């Protein structure tokens, strides 16, 4: 038996010495990894927790900076972080498990479970929600336009209410891809109505407990005490160099709301190789990208982006919410993953994680085809033009405008030769004229005004990133 152990040791030595993982064994690569996180590795700063996973175990884990500045608690692998949209894979997994159990079909019309949803020209299917091809306007953007204070508590009822008010979609279901938190929030409602349990309960019973993820929950009660929970932070604008807390009081789930740790993500990561939950067919569905109505594929699967990095297949999803940022990136063929969970709103865990990947997988990247990297579409884009409008022309747009879809009123006023918009929170924003009847804000929000048969302004549609043409109607004086 001794000769076998000796032979195994020799084989292991040669395997390790042929790759970057040999450096990991003697700590060489870990020094380089730590250097990536130097800006966060301070006792007076929030930061990140890192987990490097290879062949089913964590080969390097460290916390950088503090999980809680008030109580001097350091970041680390056992700390629970809000992972924002990285949560979406757990919502999608819950839906696939219900489909596997025969409780629903991905081809079901969402109105089978949410009949109060408006009947649009074409049905929105459950698979459209999973793949971000539903055309549903993003409810977080709608909240913002409606003047919701993101520090306030919002609930499942609040999120559902604003989605139900929408009279139109961004586009016909299946025609385009546009990231929408509304779709994944609605999946939480589907889970509840198909299973009789909240998403938090269903995921705990069918995913987290079976995998032993003892520190992972969908947080649907913002007052709940969560052991070893990190505090989220952002830079304090009133005192440069210091921080302020940035926590979430939102209670709706599905699009986010998972709290988890590096050690628990290891257990979830391993389920993609040795499934205790779902089985082989489930894992294939989790990683099967969707398709448009014309048959073209996109790169989004079930809460996961599927693409390539330097010739290697990559499965990943990032998250951003309140003072938290996260990413979990997996290279299936290499059985290698990096989890990076941060509690500072200015951190970029996706960039940090890929720098770690570059260190560990440097000798496994495949030669590229020589094509230059795609240029940043915004890099050389000229600033949007503005057009001059007279005071008389600007006065046409002044007045009070109400949106039934947002249940809010905007005031348009002209001051010092400029049109401004004022929302329900009395926040005034100057508008820049982009065309005869079009204005924009510096943040990219677009306003397209409409006229009646007599040529008088009678309303406008507002578009902003993940929402298009939300209607406002001019109110009589």
- List pLDDT tens digits, range 135-160: 999 999 999 999 999 899 999 999 99
Instruction: Report whether pLDDT(263) > 60.
Output: yes
Single out the residue of 453, 445, 454 nearest to residue 145, CA to CA. 445
- CB burial string 360-394: b at 16+ within 10 A, e below: bbeeeeeeeeeeeeeeeeeeeeeeeeeeebeeeeb
Answer whether 459's CB lies under 8 Å from 471's CB.
yes
Answer whether 135's CB lies under 8 Å from 170's CB.
yes
Instruction: Report whether pLDDT(22) > 70.
Output: no
CA distance 73 to 81: 13
Q: What percent of the chain has pLDDT over 90?
A: 84
Tokens of 190: 């589907």
Helix, strand, coil in percent for the chain, rounding step 5:
30, 25, 45
Answer whether 41's CB lies under 8 Å from 65's CB.
yes
Question: What spatial distance separates the first Cα and last Cα of the chain, rounded to whole Å?
Answer: 94
Q: 418-422 and 408-415: which strand pairing?
A: antiparallel
How confident is the model at residue 13, as a pLDDT? Answer: 38
Sheet holding 312-321, edge to edge: 57-64, 48-54, 336-342, 324-331, 312-321, 305-309
How confident is the model at residue 87, as a pLDDT? Answer: 98
Instruction: Report whether pLDDT(5) > 60.
Output: no
pTM of the model: 0.91
> Helices 156-164 & 181-195, crossing angle to 10 degrees?
110
Instruction: Report whether pLDDT(416) > 80.
Output: yes
**Which sign does the torsion angle of CA 320, 324, 325, 330 carry?**
negative
DSSP one-letter code for 133: -
**What count of other Cβ atoms lies within 10 Å of the Cβ of residue 339?**
33
Instruction: Report whether pLDDT(460) > 60.
Output: yes
Give me the phi and psi of 295, to 5 degrees please.
95, -15
Q: What angle do CA 422, 141, 386 make, to 5 degrees?
A: 55
Q: pLDDT for 180-195, tens place per residue?
A: 999 999 999 999 999 9
Q: pLDDT for 29-53, tens place per residue?
A: 999 999 999 999 999 999 999 999 9
DSSP 3-state assignment of 418? strand
DSSP output for 434-465? EETTEEE-TTS-EEEEEE-TTS-EEEEEEEET
Tokens of 6: 């000796």
Distance of CA 289 to the CA centre of its chain: 17
């Amino acid at each position: 038996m001794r000769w076998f152990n000796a032979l195994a040791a020799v084989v292991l030595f040669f395997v390790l010495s042929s790759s970057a993982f040999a450096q990991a064994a003697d700590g060489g690569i870990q020094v380089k990894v730590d250097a990536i996180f130097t800006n966060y590795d301070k006792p007076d700063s929030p930061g990140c927790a890192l987990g490097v996973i290879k062949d089913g175990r964590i080969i390097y884990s460290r916390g950088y900076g503090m999980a809680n500045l008030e109580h001097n608690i350091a970041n680390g692998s056992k700390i629970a972080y809000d992972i924002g949209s990285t949560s979406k894979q757990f919502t999608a997994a819950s839906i696939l498990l219900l489909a596997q159990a025969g409780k629903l079909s991905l081809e079901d019309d969402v109105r089978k479970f949410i009949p109060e949803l408006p009947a649009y020209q074409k049905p929105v299917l459950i698979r459209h929600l999973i793949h971000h091809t539903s055309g549903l306007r993003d409810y977080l953007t709608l909240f913002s336009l409606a003047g919701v204070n993101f520090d306030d508590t919002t609930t499942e009822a609040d999120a559902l209410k604003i989605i139900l008010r929408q009279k139109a979609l961004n586009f016909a279901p299946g025609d385009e891809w546009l990231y929408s938190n509304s779709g994944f929030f609605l999946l939480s409602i589907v889970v509840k109505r198909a299973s009789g349990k909240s998403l938090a309960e269903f995921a705990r019973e069918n995913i987290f407990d079976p995998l032993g993820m003892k520190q992972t929950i969908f947080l649907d009660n913002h007052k709940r005490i969560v052991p070893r929970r990190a505090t989220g932070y952002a830079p304090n604008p009133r005192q440069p160099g210091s921080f302020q807390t940035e926590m979430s009081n939102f209670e709706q789930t599905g699009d986010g709301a998972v709290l988890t740790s590096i050690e628990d993500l290891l257990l979830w990561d391993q389920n993609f190789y040795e499934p205790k939950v779902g089985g082989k067919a489930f894992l294939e569905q989790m990683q099967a990208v969707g398709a448009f109505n014309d048959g073209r594929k996109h790169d989004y699967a079930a809460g996961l982006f599927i693409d390539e990095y330097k010739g290697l297949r990559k499965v990943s999803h990032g998250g951003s919410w309140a003072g938290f940022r996260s990413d979990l990136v997996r290279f299936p063929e290499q059985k290698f993953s990096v989890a990076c969970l941060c509690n500072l709103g200015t951190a970029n865990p996706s960039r940090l994680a890929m720098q770690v990947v570059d260190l560990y997988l440097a000798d496994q990247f495949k030669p590229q085809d020589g094509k230059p990297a795609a240029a940043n579409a915004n890099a050389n884009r000229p600033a949007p033009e503005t057009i001059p409008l007279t005071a008389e022309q600007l006065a046409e747009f002044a007045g009070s405008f109400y949106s039934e879809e947002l249940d809010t009123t905007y005031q348009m006023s002209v001051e010092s030769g400029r049109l401004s918009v004022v929302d329900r929170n009395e926040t005034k924003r100057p508008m820049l004229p982009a065309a005869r009847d079009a204005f924009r804000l510096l943040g990219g929000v677009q306003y397209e005004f409409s006229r009646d048969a007599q040529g008088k302004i009678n309303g406008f549609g507002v578009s902003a990133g993940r929402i298009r043409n939300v209607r406002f109607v001019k109110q009589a004086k």
